[in-house]
Every structure is written in structure tokens, then in C-alpha cells.
Chains A and B, each alone.
Chain A
């Protein structure tokens, strides 16, 4: 016990704190860009799949292929795929940005399915009614479908956000110094695992917990107000 306290004292240096904060910042950035960019692009992809114009058919097919492919490839493989894609293109991009692009690629694929499922939960009858009243697709979504989809979209979306924070640890495999990488660095410096990974565990919790609370509150609010 005395040794542990002593170790904490040596661990708690300004340098280590900054290192940990920077690593946490990267984890947060990776997760946030993956979730936000993924949600925006995923939403757009879900909308695209509802268009009917013949001119957009190739885009729709591409969208389906994209989603079905990246939902089936492990995150780590996507990371390497993006890594080597940039290399093949002769682009010298920092590994952090490779990880950011990967999280966007994955986030888009998963969240587009979450959004699509939300859209699908609105009865066909209401889509038909809107169509026969000459609503455009965007009007149908805005006034009828989206207000009724939030309830269906929110729980799986937040579940994905949370699991995504953890998945971002894989970015350490291509050399991004995020939280998991920082844990390994501490451990390699001879700190006991309790300290090295305990601090990391705490950092993950600090990032995830507020998001989980926020998600729960959103769901609670939606459940009370129903579809209105």
C-alpha cells in the first residue's frame, strides 16, 4: 500500500497529467468526429436511399454497397485499409487524421442504418399520405418522418456513440497516442498496471458517463412526449 502511494506521488507529475489530457483529448476528438460526422453523413445516406429519381440510382447502389461493406469489416481492418489507401495515394497524413477518417467511414455506415431503421418505423401509410399531398421527400422527412423517428433512433444511436468511444482504442494500433496508447506508455515506464491503466479507466469513464447520462435523459424526454 505504501508502495502504491509512493508510486501515485511519482505518477502525478505535471508532465504525466498533460500527457494524459492530450491522450484523452485525442480519444474524445476521435469519438466525437466519428459520431458527429458519422451521424450527419449517415443521415444523408439514409435520405439518399429514399430518393426515387433515376439519376440517383448509381448513388443509391453505391450507398448500399458502402453500408453493407463497412458494417461487416472490423474496425481495425478499416483502419489499416485507410492507412494503406493514404499510403498508396502517396499522401503523407498524420496517423491521427487517418484514424479520424476511419472513424467517419465506420460511423457513417453504422449510423445510416440506425437512421434508416428510424425512418422505417414510421408507417408506410403516412409516407403515402404525404406523397399524395405533394410533399417533397425533404418535406415528408421534416414534418412527418423525422419528428416520429427520434424515439426509434436515439437509443441505438447513443449505444453506438458509447461503444465507439471504446472502439477508438484500436487507433493505438496504428500509433495514435490516445488513451489506450497512453496506458501502454505508462505501463512501459514501469508504473504498476493499477496506476497505468487505472488512470486510463478513469479517463474513459469521465468521457463516457456524461454522454450516457445525456442519452438517458434524451430517451426519457422522448418517452414522455411520445411522438409529438
Chain B
């Protein structure tokens, strides 16, 4: 039984449908990547999984148990297990890097301060920011901010890490430092659901790739299948286009 299972999930922003039937299954320790053209609903799907958008239909199962996102308790539970890193980092601008990482474990999880601080320092050092602990977000480059956001998500000790186009807002020379930090996590066996346009990276780290278009999951499989031998016309067109670049 997969750890996370989505069956035919649909969602809308007001009257505008953005997801029109997404199905996928994710095992523990797996890294699944969502690829597809812009506007295909990849980021929206991640927002659904952290309770920022309530799906209109479909089923989400966690460890085999259905999750009802209309229940505040279910949303809380989901947010306890999943941590998301946003494309625009979404750091708290009034807090230092260290404080950004510590605040939720301290105030929401109520973990002991000493342990939280040790953890935060270790995580920030691990992403290469050991010398930026007391810097405010506006004193950091985009790549540095994104690594703080990564550390902040990890400090919550999530079961699954959701990465929403984490390198899209970065200057090309900063992309590598963020991807390297994620590679490290992948090597540690972190379960991840990744939305990315870095196809080389997706191919390298993913155990599963899900191709999405028009709010639907069209095809999924190992990266070898999706990139070299796609089974559907939509996926073939998309892959042909990105390979031409």
C-alpha cells in the first residue's frame, strides 16, 4: 500500500478549475517529480497537499486512510507530515535566518529550545549557511534565501518534503547550490514530491516522474520511460519540445 495516494483529485480557484483529475501514488523514501507545461496544475497540487486549497472532488489517502480536507483536524495532520518549500521562498522578513528556521519547531511543535537551536544551526550549516545565521532575508541572495527555506522546512522533520519550483526564481548560477542541497537530502532517503523544470535534475534524482497537462495526470512512470519512451501523445509532444532545447 502506497504511503500517499491521490485518486482523481480535482480543485478550482473560485469558478476556475485548475485540477481536473490527478492520480498518483507515492511510496515512503521515494522521490516523485511532477513535470508538464506551465498552468498544468503542478504547483496547485502541492498547495492542495498542504491545505492551502481544498479539493472539490477525488480522494486523498495517507497510509491507506482517507483524508478529508474539509476537516481542520485533517489539514493540521497533513501539515504536520508535509513541509513545503515555495518558489518565492516565503521567508518571514522580520526574522533572521536562524529565527526563521526555529520559530515553528519552537512555537508550534513546542520542542525544547536547546534542541531546536542545535538542529537549526546544524541544518543551516548543512545547506552552507553556517555563517549567515543572523542575517535577515533581505541581506541574503535568492539562492541563500531558498536554502534557508529548505532548512526551515526540514527543521519540522516532515515525512514528505514538497518542493515547488524551488529553483525557478533563482539566477542560473545560484541554481546549482540549491540543487546540491536537495541531492544531499535525496541521498539520505527523504521522501519528496518535486515540481521542477530542471529536467536533468528530475531525471537524475526521481524514482518516478508524473507528467501533467491541463490539470490532469497524463502519464507516470520511471524517468527512463517518461523521457525516452513516453506512452501518451501529450507526453511525447512535451518531451520532444524540451529535448529540442
Contacts and interface: CB of A to CB of B under 8 A. Distances in A.
Given A128-B52, A128-B86, A144 B92 contact: yes
Residue from B51, B79, B86, B94 whose CB has the most chain A CB atoms within 10 Å? B94
A148 B103 CA distance: 16
B86 A227 contact: no
B86 A129 contact: yes
A144 B100 CA distance: 10
B113 to A, nearest CB: 15
Task: Say which size band chain B's interface belongs to.
Answer: 20 to 34
A126 B100 CA distance: 11
B44 interface: no
Chain A CB within 10 A, most for which of B79, B88, B91, B93: B93
B93 A135 contact: no
B93 A126 contact: yes
B136 A228 contact: yes
Contacts of B76: 134
Interface in A124-150: 125-126, 128-135, 139, 143-144, 147-148
A131 B91 CA distance: 13
Contacts, number: 54
A163 B170 CA distance: 47
A16 to B, nearest CB: 52
Contact of A133 (B93, B94, B104): B104
Interface string A52-87: 000000000000000000000000000000000000
Contacts of A131: 51-52, 79
Interface in B65-109: 76, 79-80, 82-84, 86, 88, 90-95, 103-104, 107-108
Choose among A128, A129, A130, A143 the residue with the greatest number of B CB atoms under 10 Å from its CB.
Answer: A129
Nearest to A146: B94
B220 to A, nearest CB: 25
24 contacts: A123-B90, A125-B88, A125-B90, A126-B90, A126-B93, A128-B52, A128-B86, A129-B92, A130-B92, A131-B51, A131-B52, A132-B50, A132-B51, A132-B52, A132-B82, A133-B156, A134-B104, A143-B92, A143-B95, A143-B103, A144-B94, A148-B93, A148-B94, A227-B94
Interface of A: 123, 125-126, 128-135, 139, 143-144, 147-148, 227-228
